[in-house]
Amino acid sequence: MALLELDRLWVSYGPVPALRDVSLSLEEGETLAVVGPNGAGKTTLTLAIAGALPAAAGTLRLDGKPIGGLRTEDVALMGIALVPEGRRIFDGLTVHENLLMGMSRRLGDRAARNRALAEIHAMFPILAERRNGMATRLSGGEQQQLAIARALLSRPRLLILDEPSLGLAPLLVDRVYDVLRELRASGLSILLVEQNPMRIGAVADRVMVLSGGEVRLEGLAADLLGDARLENAYLSGGEHA
């Protein structure tokens, strides 16, 4: 059974549909990259999965259990963590306090929580170094690492990232992608939204092109990356695979 399964999902802002009949499935341990131009519906897709936007039609399931209509807190408790576009660092809090906000009760007792924090500090040394500094003083790339770290502390089964490289200098994009590679290798299931298909080669197992709110193409990254079909689907709203 797929970990995440969307079947014929429609999501609208008022009368205007932003997602039309979108179906997808994501297997446990898989990284699915969703690419598409501006306004394709990528952010809408992440918000709908995380319970922040209601479905007008269609179903969403995690591990076979319906999650459509659940509140964001309940979707999070079921194991879905979203790193939203723009990172959403909490103003007025230190790096450490931001991390504490992400900690799930599911982590267990104090010793288990300390172990989880130590793991996070090992993965993101800059967050250990800046532990007592204000989070808003971090650079863009460091804030992105903090946002990912905070999401990981909820012990998600599925991590959703909405354009994690947006606005970052190339070197920092590389750092974020190194982290994604590490997470994928650890067996975490990931749904990665990116505008630029060039970036996803190193991390994606499968790719889906979304354009105009519809799925235009879907297949194995190894087959589609660098293939003209991907470019056509991205640019013109092209063919179905």
Ligand X SMILES: Nc1ncnc2c1ncn2[C@@H]1O[C@H](COP(=O)(O)OP(=O)(O)OP(=O)(O)O)[C@@H](O)[C@H]1O
Site residues, ligand X (CB under 6 A): 13, 18, 36, 38-44, 195
CA–CA distance, 69 with 78 (Å, rounded to integer): 13
9 contacts 34 by C-beta, under 8 angstroms: no
Please tell me the distance from the alpha carbon of residue 34 to that of residue 19, in angstroms, as a whole number. 13
Least distance from C-beta 196 to ligand X, angstroms? 10
Instruction: Kindly tell me which of 40 and 173 has the beta carbon lying closer to ligand X.
Output: 40
43 touches 85 (CB < 8 A): yes
Q: In the complex, what is the shortest distance from the CB of residue 21 to ligand X, in angstroms, rounded to a whole number?
A: 15
Q: Which is nearer to ligand X, 40 or 99 (CB)?
A: 40
Q: Which residues contact 165 (CB under 8 A, 6 or more apart)?
A: 144, 172, 173, 176, 177, 194, 196, 199
Instruction: Considering the complex, state which of residue 49 and residue 95 has its C-beta at the smaller distance from ligand X.
Output: 49
Tell the smallest beta-carbon distance from residue 147 to ligand X (Å). Answer: 16
Report phi then psi at 94, rounded to 5: -75, 170
- In the complex with ligand X, which residue's Cβ is closer, 38 or 132? 38
C-beta of 210: minimal distance to ligand X in Å? 7
Q: Are 146 and 90 contacting, i.e. CB atoms less than 8 angstroms apart? A: no
Which of residues 135 and 217 has its CB atom nearest to ligand X in the complex? 217
CB of 168 to ligand X, least distance (A): 15
* Cβ contact 101:93 at 8 Å: yes
The CB-of-146 to ligand X minimum distance in angstroms stands at 21
Rounded CA-CA distance 112/120 in Å is 12
Instruction: Please say whether the beta carbons of 191 and 160 come within 8 A.
Output: yes
**CB nearer ligand X, residue 27 or residue 231:** 231
Biggest distance spanned by C-alpha atoms of the chain: 53
